[in-house]
Structure 1
Amino acid sequence: MIRAALFDMDGTLVANTPYHLRAFAIFCERYGVTDWETKLASVFGMGNDDILGLIMPDAVREKGVEALADEKEAIYREIYAPDIRPVEGLARLLGRLTQAGIRCAVGSSGCRRNVDFVLEHCAIESYFDARISGDSVSRCKPDPEIYLTAAAALGVAPAECVIFEDAPAGFEAARRAGAGRIIALATTLSREELAREKGIDRIIGTYDDLDDLAALLA
């Protein structure tokens, strides 16, 4: 029986991958990094420690991850703010979950400022009882700590949670956490790519595809 819903953020609450890519392009140009795109593809969904350590190790040694992450995420928020909107059907699903007594939490490898930015700008803050971000845990996805912490914050077992994700690191984190159900959104990867992932219960394009709430929560 599903008692709670845990949502990744990037690519799950918002289809923001193009804006993160634009932010990385601007950011990496500042530091003269030219080979970032191929490297980024292998760490999508992970925390900034892993991403920046792979993409620009020299800059990390010089300036530190925290300063670089703050700089990059500030670029992202600036360019995304005029266009931000939730994935289609998200607000309707959140309303239905609330009416059904299902508590919700965000479980994101992103920083807390980005989580707050998304929830506030999409006007969905009131639906979430907990916000777990990458800077509030010791290990980001694919480690399960984020989802284990989110489930604990809601007072439920991971097996009682449906987890919404879009990236391989997140799917692995959800599986390792022992999620009761995993729903994949085809926002970052294609349906064909998602079909090759293990442990996914359903692939959707938008939240409006979830027309049978009773089946989702059974």
Structure 2
Amino acid sequence: MTGERLAETFAPIEALIFDMDGLLVDSEPIAEQAMERFLQLHGHTLRPGTTERTLGRRVPDAMLVIAEIYGITLPIAELIDTYDQLRLAALRGKLLPMPGAAALLTYGRAAGLKLALATSSLRSHADLSLAETRLAGLFDAEATGDDVVNGKPAPDIFLLAAERLGTPPAACVVLEDAPAGLAAAAAAGMRRIWVPNIKTRDLPVAVAVDLTAPDLEAVIPWLETHGVKTPASAEKESFSGMADRHLGASDADNRRSPRQA
């Protein structure tokens, strides 16, 4: 169910709430490598479809799924610690922003929208990911997997992000790559935009969405047709160009992810 959804009552758009992994940051292939190493340490090999069952979920929730699939009986806290260290080590020096990430963030800021991050990743992972992709400091509020007890598909993390922004849920638009996140956004009473990547584009989505976009920059025209005013600066310069100035021109060329939906 990915088409235009049934009419619901929403306020004018005031805020964009972004997932991180697989949406803003091209981290999921690297995280899969860390999962392969994690399972090897416990005498297992990664089976097809395993990572798809953990996409969008907090590390504790993902470890519960992994322990059940592979029959690992060690304490969950120990599994979390081992995987956490492997994933952090794998991410360092290898992260790229997803196509259009900086452009949409730049547009949102210029249009006067509030921006929030709502990621299931731990705070340590979020800080590393945003720093390495030059996206740190662009958000008005952040919520991570450490901040909530109930992870996606529960709505808690999106509701917390909206609360920290001081924005009602009905005025928020959630951008997600994973079905669990889209379900969480629906449960939170927020508009939702699906930007699938190579790992999530064939997964079933149980809730209807407002838009399915090939990349984040493609969301800009939809926002403009839904009442977000294009900043005057856009008349002379594309938001890709503005984003390149934020990243630094040569750095932007080097750090754009080639992986697209």
Instruction: Please point out which of 78, 81, 100 is paired with 1:70.
Output: 81
Judged with a 3 Å threshold, the aligned counterparts in structure 2 of structure 1 residues 55 and 204 are, in CA distance, closer, same or farther, namely same
Q: Partner residue of 1:16?
A: 27
Identity of paired residues, percent? 30
Task: Note the C-alpha offset of 1:97.
Answer: 0.6
Worse overlay, 162-171 or 122-131: 122-131
Provide the alpha-carbon RMSD of the alignment: 2.0
Name whichever of 97-106 and 144-153 sits farther off. Answer: 97-106
Query: What amino acid is the match of 2:184?
Result: A
Pick closer, same or farther for the CA change 1:216–1:8 going to 2, 3 Å: farther
Q: 1:132 pairs with 140, 143, 155, which one?
A: 143
Q: Residue 213 of structure 2 corresponds to which residue in structure 1?
A: 204
Q: Do the aligned partners of 2:118 and 2:158 also contact (CA within 8 Å) in 1?
A: yes
Q: 1:44 maps to what in 2? A: 55
Aligned to 1:161: 172
CA distance in 1, matches of 2:90, 2:36: 12
Q: Equivalent residue for 1:31? A: 42
What is the deviation of 1:161?
Answer: 0.6
Q: Tell me, which stretches of 5 or more residues in structure 2 are unaligned?
A: 1-11, 229-261
Q: Which amino acid aligns with 2:141?
A: A
Report if aligned partners of 1:3, 1:217 keep a CA contact under 8 Å in 2. Answer: no
Aligned residue type for 1:117: L
What amino acid is aligned across from residue 113 of structure 1 in structure 2? S
Amino acid at match of 1:62: L
Specify which of 94, 109, 125 is matched with residue 98 of structure 1: 109
8 Å contact kept, 2:193–2:211: yes
* Distance (Å, rounded) in 2 between the aligned partners of 1:18 and 1:138: 26
Q: Is the 8 A contact 1:115 1:131 kept in 2?
A: no
Say which of 134, 148, 153 aligns to 1:123: 134
1:136 offset after TM fit, Å? 0.9
2:154 to 115, 119, 143: 143
Q: What is the match of residue 225 of structure 2?
A: 215
Q: For the residues of structure 2 that align with 1:91 and 1:17, how far apart are their CA atoms?
A: 18
How far does the alpha carbon of each residue in 1:115-166 deviate from its partner, in whole angstroms, 9 at most, with x for none?
Answer: 1111111111221111111111111001000000000000001110110001
Aligned AA (1:182): R
Name the TM-score, length of structure 1 as normaliser: 0.89
Tell me whether 28-37 or 100-109 shows the greater mean CA deviation: 28-37
Structure number with larger C-alpha Rg: 2
Matched with 2:244 is: none
Residues 99-119 of structure 1: CA deviation (Å, up to 9, x unaligned): 111111111111111111111
SS of equivalent to 2:20: coil
C-alpha deviation, 1:51, in angstroms: 1.5
Among candidates 184, 199, 206, match of residue 194 of structure 2: 184
Contact kept, 8 Å, 2:178 with 2:196, in 1: the verdict is: no
Consecutive unaligned residues of structure 1, counting only runs of 5 or more, are none
Contact 1:36 1:55 in 2 (8 A): no
* Whole-angstrom CA distance in 1 between matches of 2:83 and 2:146: 15
Equivalenced residue count is 213
- Sort the Cα spacing of 1:193 and 1:56 in 2 relative to 1 into closer, same or farther, 3 A: closer
Q: State the shift of 1:216 in Å.
A: 4.8
Higher helix content, 1 or 2: 1
Q: Give, in angstroms, the shift of residue 197 of structure 1.
A: 4.2
